[in-house]
A and B are shown apart, each in its own frame.
Chain A
Amino acid sequence: MLPEPLLELICPAGSLPALKAAVDHGADGVYLGLKDNTNARNFSGLNFDEKSLAEGIRYAQAKGRKVLMALNTYPQPATLSRWHAAVDKATELGVDAVILADPGLMAYANRTHPDLRLHLSVQGSATSYEAVNFYRERFGIRRAVLPRVLSLPQVENVIRNTEAEIELFGFGGLCVMVEGRCLLSSYACGDSPNTFGACSPGHAVRWQQTDKGMETRLNGILIDRYADNEKAGYPTLCKGRFEVQGDTYYALEEPTSLNTLEMLPEMHRLGVAAIKIEGRQRSPAYVAQVTQVWRAAIDAVKKSAATFAVQPAWHAQLDKISEGSMHTLGAYYRPWK
């Protein structure tokens, strides 16, 4: 049997103004992280310290919205106490849930704070109901964020076979989607999202305008060169153009944005608990614009899924702020498994 759809809108917040923009424009919840490598958006100057976190929680909860804290990197033995302290702090300040990837950290959270609600991060890379149920049975996770590799029928199969709530990515930058298992950034610059907390960290990135176009280098490796009229993508290896047997092209994937607005009725029917918007690294202006559109869309589908139609203005607004020159439904819509 399919669960009752909650279809919460979960929006990204890299700063207090971004959090307020999300709340003010109708997010049901925001997700955020601390200013260190305990989360996978560990960029200089981004994220929350204790003071802004407390203020953010107060602001969101006063309006009946949730704050989910991402602690979704993998602690290393020498610095494990930092992750434990972060779980303790999250509990003390009253976040609504923590989003975890590491089973050791789940065990700690579950043991130390039995009432703390645990969500399984996309970085945990659970793509089957067996995996989700394992985390649920062992650590009591209440919700799992599924990696962006499943088709909707596969998502349905997971939902039908677990008691855990299922959250899906609905919009934002796409990567090669081997979340929690990607080593491309590590290969190029020695830092990986799993431990350093960022893919292509700023210290490894160089942009330079040259006579041939704008060049992007990652730790000295030329990963792309854009002609003046070409759109640029994030400086990640997966989105670079490389010479393969004399031909230069996107050898892994093209910069593209996920946009699943048109699949909302189906996600609603399947009993998806929440739609997640990517982009904690982005500014309050982005959060405001994307939240506005998705709030309207989710309200429309909840009102009448049968008559739901994507407004052209929604696509126009989202395409404008997207990475890449096109959007895609990702793996959700594909006939093969």
Chain B
Amino acid sequence: MRLPNFPQPLARVLRRLPALPASASLVALLNLVAWKSLKDLDWAPLRGRRFCVHLRDTGLRAYFSVSRHGFVTEVNEQADVTFTATTEDFARLALRVDDPDTLFFNRRLLIEGNTDLGLRVKNMLDAVELETVMQHLPAALSRVVANVRLKAQQREIAGAH
């Protein structure tokens, strides 16, 4: 499913990921941009659980778990719960432009495996304030993300009118 609203430069960058070993790249990216703002969450119930992020548009599957020190690549490529969506839709979720239930109703997000675990992760991430995430990003990246989010939201509103 193509979303004309999503900024193309970022999508193009994301699409280049499959050229690299997928799980390791995603884990490196998550640790770089997100771990600082996520490390204080209550990860205890999720310790030892394995996650898979499946990018529907590229076929890429990244497997990882969460340790005390950050995200860790799962070399066995097995998961307790798998999230499937397009690269763009994952980005829209991360930027809080879309709500996961909306994407689920519209069949743009699929959660397979341990649903309770999937819900827990979704709800934990929802409880993180976007400002906190932005503050922990490198300044240049933070500006880019803020700009992308604003544009996506403006297009949402324009699209509804």
In the bound complex, CA of A229 to CA of B118 (Å)? 23
Please, could you name 22 A-B residue pairs with CB atoms under 8 Å apart, sorted by A? A14-B123, A15-B126, A16-B127, A16-B129, A43-B123, A52-B127, A202-B115, A202-B116, A203-B115, A207-B110, A229-B107, A232-B106, A233-B105, A281-B101, A284-B99, A284-B126, A285-B98, A285-B99, A316-B160, A321-B99, A323-B105, A324-B105
In the bound complex, CA of A284 to CA of B101 (Å)? 11
CB pair B127 A206 closer than 8 Å:
no
CB pair B123 A46 closer than 8 Å:
yes
Please, which residues of chain A bring their CB within 8 A of the CB of B106? 231-232
Tell whether B120 is near chain A: CB-to-CB under 8 Å: yes
Q: Which residues in chain A, 277-312, are within 8 Å of chain B measured between CB atoms?
A: 281-286, 289
From A45, A203, A283, A323, contact of B96 by CB (8 A): A283
CB pair B101 A209 closer than 8 Å:
no
From A205, A214, A232, A285, contact of B97 by CB (8 A): A285
From A14, A45, A46, A316, contact of B161 by CB (8 A): A316
Task: Return the CB mask of A17-47 against B: 1 if under 8 Å, else 0.
Answer: 1101000000000000000000000011110
Top 7 A-B pairs, shortest CB-CB distance: A45-B123, A202-B116, A44-B120, A45-B120, A286-B99, A15-B127, A285-B99
Please, which residues of chain B bring their CB within 8 A of the CB of A43? 119, 123
CB pair B111 A45 closer than 8 Å:
no
Chain A-chain B contacts (Cβ-Cβ < 8 Å), number: 103
B interface with A by C-beta (< 8 Å): 45, 84, 96-102, 104-107, 110-112, 115-124, 126-130, 160-161
Min distance, Cβ B8 to any Cβ of chain A, angstroms: 22
Task: Return the CB mask of A62-82 against B: 1 if under 8 Å, else 0.
Answer: 000000000000000000000
Q: Which residues in chain A, 100-125, are within 8 Å of chain B measured between CB atoms?
A: none
Task: Return the CB mask of A207-231 against B: 1 if under 8 Å, else 0.
Answer: 1110000100000000000101111
Min distance, Cβ A32 to any Cβ of chain B, angstroms: 12
Please, which residues of chain A bring their CB within 8 A of the CB of B105? 231-233, 255, 322-324
A interface with B by C-beta (< 8 Å): 14-18, 20, 43-46, 52, 201-203, 205-209, 214, 226, 228-233, 255, 281-286, 289, 313, 316-317, 320-324
Min distance, Cβ A222 to any Cβ of chain B, angstroms: 15
Please, which residues of chain A bring their CB within 8 A of the CB of B45? 44
CB pair A44 B123 closer than 8 Å:
yes
Please, which residues of chain A bring their CB within 8 A of the CB of B84? 209
In the bound complex, CA of A202 to CA of B124 (Å)? 14
Please, which residues of chain A bring their CB within 8 A of the CB of B101? 281-283, 286, 321, 323
CB pair A203 B102 closer than 8 Å:
no
From B99, B118, B129, B130, contact of A282 by CB (8 A): B99
Please, which residues of chain B bring their CB within 8 A of the CB of A44? 45, 116-117, 119-120, 123
Find the B residue at minimum CB distance from A216.
Answer: B115
Find the B residue at minimum CB distance from A281.
Answer: B101
- Max chain A C-beta neighbours (<10 A), residue from B111, B117, B119, B128: B119
Find the A residue at minimum CB distance from B41.
Answer: A45
From A45, A203, A317, contact of B160 by CB (8 A): A317
In the bound complex, CA of A129 to CA of B120 (Å)? 40
Please, which residues of chain B bring their CB within 8 A of the CB of A284? 96, 99, 126
In the bound complex, CA of A112 to CA of B7 (Å)? 56
In the bound complex, CA of A44 to CA of B127 (Å)? 12
Please, which residues of chain B bring their CB within 8 A of the CB of A321? 99, 101-102
Please, which residues of chain A bring their CB within 8 A of the CB of B98? 285
CB pair A201 B99 closer than 8 Å:
no
Given A207-B112, A230-B107, A285-B97, decide whether A14 and B119 contact each other with a Cβ distance below 8 A.
Answer: no
